[in-house]
Structure 1
């Protein structure tokens, strides 16, 4: 189910407390690190949890 890649902008099921629901993937491996595009907060999630919480891909990286 890997259809996302580094630097993609994704939408998660729950919005961030800052009000934005756009996250940029900044690191991939066993864990996936995402950065909020609104406030810059960085969150690291295990890959399985990330795949469960991701809603859709908004923008693909070039």
Structure 2
């Protein structure tokens, strides 16, 4: 996916998080993305390549 993302955007991933949610909020953009799960609040960091591979759509 080649869309532009910014802090505060919400995205949907292809696979579900163990809590059952697919939706994430972007907290940081750069070489890495910092994401917060909208289901349980877990914070994760993903590289740009892995993020682009896993994201399904922008909400």
Unaligned runs of 5+ in 2: none
Q: TM-score, normalised by structure 2?
A: 0.91
Question: For residues 2 and 38 of structure 1, what CA distance do their matches in structure 2 show?
Answer: 24
**Equivalent residue for 1:33?**
34
- Structure 1 position 5, deviation (Å): 1.5
Question: For residues 22 and 31 of structure 1, what CA distance do their matches in structure 2 show?
Answer: 18
Residue-by-residue CA offset, 1:5-57 (whole Å, 9 max, x unaligned): 21111000111110111100001111001100111001100001100100000
Query: How much is the aligned-residue C-alpha RMSD, in angstroms?
Result: 0.9
Q: TM-score, normalised by structure 1?
A: 0.87
Unaligned runs of 5+ in 1: none
In the TM superposition, structure 1's runs of 4+ consecutive aligned residues that sit over 4 Å from their partners are none
**Equivalent residue for 1:44?**
45
Q: State the aligned residue count.
A: 58
